[in-house]
Amino acid sequence: MADPVALLALAIDATIGWPPKLYARIGHPVGAFARIIGWCERGNSGSDVRRRILGTLTLLTVAGFAFGIAWLAQAALATWLGSWAWIGIGILAAPGLAQRSLDAHVRPVADALLVGDIAGARRAVGMIVGRDTATLNEAGIARAGIESLAESFCDGIAAPLFWLLVLGLPGLWAYKAINTADSLIGHREPRWRAFGWASARTDDVANWIPARLAGAIVCLAGAGGFRIMWRDARKHASPNAGWTEAAMAGALDLKLAGPIAYDGMAHIKPWLGDGRAGANGHDVMRALAVFRRACLILWIIAGGIAWVL
């Protein structure tokens, strides 16, 4: 039986998460990645070739920093604690997961919708999505919350767990650095298109397997959705986000995605799913229930891998 590092990390994240007092005092490890990226981004100027080179160096810097620090920590724990090193590694891996945080951010959206507080629901969903929320109605708010929950199940939980299992602590934190770089600079706007190119493409590669596994897990947790996932996942602009979003749409029998607005500009996106477009607070609660069952399946997988290996 292998050391249950991943199972311990999941348990710590679910029960404790990253306490607000600790966040207020020292921030979060991802914040260090953001600061490195921000410092490197000061040189984002010149030709597209120059921007691509600088953006690639930025990605290598932040991912290398994350991998190196995590590798040194893992090696030090192995030296100091010997056969008990897995406990320390699990503790250091837990902040790279987001079960508790994601649930805590999406639940207020459902709570506000269930009592008819549309303004409060807009504020809550505005904390977790990048789209314009000021004019969203109940259905738009609910869909935004559900879509964010589905997508973040992959890049906030399933993908870092995957890389923890594959490459240990360095794999998890290198993935978090890549994902942070993609979220900050991996955009298509003129300012970021060249500079963030390497981050966006690397994040696509890092999420390719985890996204498809995560989509299947959402279908298992929702007792359905495989047909919709297989049919609609590729309609999404992202090569990866569509798998969990389409899986959630199928599991809940809803239509997700569709037309949205960013920075005042409308974007016509295809619908995912065949069900109702009029999602509501009850549907957000249903999505949270599917999410929690999907996390439980990850626990079972992590425990099974530890047992078999």
- DSSP designation for 240: T
Look at the chain and report how many structural domains it folds into.
1
CB of 203 closer than 8 Å to CB of 176: no
Q: Which pLDDT tens digit goes with each residue over 76-113? A: 999 999 999 999 999 999 999 999 999 999 999 999 99
Residue range of the domain that includes 10: 5-308
Other Cβ atoms less than 10 A from the Cβ of 40: the count is 19
> Mean pLDDT in the chain?
94
**Spatial distance between the Cα atoms of 218 and 290, rounded to a whole number of angstroms:** 7
Query: Is residue 255 helix, strand or coil?
Result: coil
Which residues is 123 bridged to in the sheet? none
CB within 8 A of 96, min separation 6: which ones?
9, 29, 160, 164, 172, 173, 175, 176
- The radius of gyration of the chain's CA atoms, rounded to the nearest angstrom, is 19
Q: Which pLDDT tens digit goes with each residue over 208-247? A: 999 999 999 999 999 999 999 999 999 998 999 999 999 9
Query: Is residue 45 helix, strand or coil?
Result: coil
**Spatial distance between the Cα atoms of 124 and 127, rounded to a whole number of angstroms:** 5
Q: Determine what percent of the chain falls in helix, strand and coil, rounding each to the nearest 5.
A: 75, 5, 20
